[in-house]
Amino acid sequence: MTARHSRRDFFRLAGSAGAAAAGTAAGWASASGDPAPDGAPHVATVFGQPATVPKARGERVVVVGGGWSGLSLAKYLKRAKPDFDVVLIERRRTFVSSPISNTFYAGVVDWERLCHSFHDAARANDYLYFNATVVDVDRDSRRVFTERGYLDYDWLVLAPGIEYDYSGMGVEDPAAEQTLRDHYPAGFLPGSSDLTIKGKVEAFEGGTFLLTVPSGNYRCLPAPYERACMIADRFQARGVKGKVLLLDGNPEPATKSEGFLGAFNELYPDTIEYVPSTEVTGLDPHNRQVETRFGGHGFDDGAIYPPIRGGLLLEILGLSKPGSQQEADIDPLKYNVIGDPRVYVTGDARSMPLAKAGSTANSEARYVAELIAARSQGEELAWRSPETVCYSMVSADPDRAILIRNRYSYRLVDGRYVWSLANTRLDQEWDHAKGRATLEWARAMYRDLFTAA
């Protein structure tokens, strides 16, 4: 069975039979050799039609995913080569920021601060925002299929972000997983889960509020600890007689440990119960019980963060790296899919152990945009390290924060890339100046993503 047929079978078994027909306009049977399921001819007709977008005015670069990586790429591709025809495909209608969303729970920023318009970004930076969902890619014909038709590309960048992997915390029952998603959302995929968590924090009347930290390279390493501080701060402000139970799969905070532990001990000694080296092995959301290797804990409410994996689109397209968290199988310096210099993967779905953070994705995207522009002219570009700039709030009133800023370096050991931090600045003394800088940093990043600045 070919990789494309495997993908089509995946869609069929998942109940998305029409997506399997996306590879050809002729329909399901001609694409896969299988009989057409009910409704497939109609879906095949839709997916087999060109999308209603303007004709390309130059080499077309299609960017899939409108998070921090995709938005940055769309803008800086046009900066690197103005005659590129850039199309950003994003299924959401409104951008919601994960970075600084923790401060929303404590009332430091309002909801409007996190929400921005894809239309504004596209208009300001002269690219096209196409509101659609990608269902397949034919790399032989250089064609991207969506539920609104297909687009041809000269260059393709996939920035699908992450998905949650509840099986990594011992949850195999689909009903239990759905209960966790609905009742105890993790809040690390941007959108309505942030509103849910904010509502939980405001409605909590006492008891144990559970937060978890996965091990490995999860999205935004300091964020779970910042979240614990923001929620504890809000509980204290509201006079709640309860605690935040933070179960950490790591032996200490994964980054800025001195600053976070100092905040736990000095600002929230009676509000945060921090339990390190405690990996979750099972969850009973109905009875509000969490299991670890060292015993169980009850909880009254919470936001439960499971391990993560690369966006599902990569697996569907056969682009996941074997043995990884379903992250992209790409050249670690050039970001293109192994064996295909026309297709790239960026952002949190990459397989290199770089920070899965907004600033990292933004600076990385600038490099990849310049690289694609150079390659379009038959040239190459030397690798350039992305930069991670990460402020973390530890209190809301006054707003105090800590900071890490770093780049990356690598060396080859027996043909294997070994990565390490470089040029690191670590400032773990929480103060008001860094609190103000946190919000200034966010404002500057939003200007970069959504305006022509």
pLDDT value at 431 more than 70: yes
Looking at the structure, do residues 38 and 120 belong to the same domain, yes or no?
no
Distance CA 161, CA 313 (A): 9
Reduced to 3 states (helix: H, G, I; strand: E, B; else coil), residue 238 is helix
Q: Residues 219, 98: contact at Cβ < 8 Å?
A: yes
Which of 366, 385, 404 is where one domain is finished? Answer: 385
Residue 19 pLDDT level (bands cut at 50, 70, 90): very low
Domain total in the chain: 3
- Amino acid 84 reads F
Looking at the structure, do residues 219 and 272 belong to the same domain, yes or no?
yes
Q: Is the pTM of this model over 0.95?
A: no
Residue 408 within any structural domain of the chain: no
Looking at the structure, do residues 23 and 130 belong to the same domain, yes or no?
no
In this structure, what DSSP letter does residue 296 have?
A: E
For residues 317, 322, 326, 329, the Cα torsion angle rounded to the nearest 10 degrees is: -60
Distance CA 425, CA 404 (A): 6
Task: Give the CATH number for residue 362.
Answer: 3.50.50.60
pLDDT in tens, 107-137: 999 999 999 999 999 999 999 999 999 999 9
Residue 437 within any structural domain of the chain: no
The candidate with the shortest Cα–Cα distance to 103, out of 198, 218, 212, 238, is 198
Q: Which domain holds residue 36?
A: 3-47
Looking at the structure, do residues 101 and 143 belong to the same domain, yes or no?
yes
pLDDT value at 369 more than 70: yes
Looking at the structure, do residues 138 and 191 belong to the same domain, yes or no?
no
pLDDT in tens, 47-83: 789 999 999 999 999 999 999 999 999 999 999 999 9
pLDDT in tens, 313-338: 999 999 998 877 999 999 999 999 99
End-to-end CA distance of the chain: 49
Q: Which two tokens stand for residue 398?
A: 């006054």
| Alpha helices, H only, 276-414 | 312-316, 358-376
Residue 418 within any structural domain of the chain: no
